[in-house]
């Protein structure tokens, strides 16, 4: 994706790939830091106490949370370990 400043006709959007990764990591951070929030309790009820973090999973149904977990696993292949 080409980045261009707003004054030269661009949207001044940085890498969407990097932004997407940062937002996914924010969800993982929230999983560990907001242990009593409703959404964390729902994730734990559906996926276990560990939320399947650190495991390679094959979702049987569409799951945003499992997509986030699989992305984390793919980053490990590139030397990025959370």
pLDDT in tens, 61-72: 787 888 888 777
The answer to whether the Cα torsion of 23, 73, 49, 33 is positive or negative is negative
Distance CA 45, CA 67 (A): 17
**pLDDT of the residue at 1:** 46
CB 69 within 8 A of CB 50: no
Buried b vs exposed e over 35-45: b needs ≥16 C-beta within 10 Å?
eeeeebeebee
pLDDT in tens, 25-65: 888 888 889 989 998 898 888 888 888 776 777 777 787 88
């Amino acid at each position: 994706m080409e980045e261009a400043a707003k004054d030269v006709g661009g949207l001044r959007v940085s890498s969407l790939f990097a932004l997407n990764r940062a937002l996914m990591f924010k969800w993982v951070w929230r999983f560990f830091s907001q242990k009593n929030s409703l959404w964390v309790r729902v994730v734990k009820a559906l996926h276990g106490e560990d939320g399947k973090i650190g495991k390679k999973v094959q979702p049987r149904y569409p799951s945003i949370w499992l997509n986030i977990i699989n992305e984390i696993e793919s980053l490990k292949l590139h030397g990025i370990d959370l």
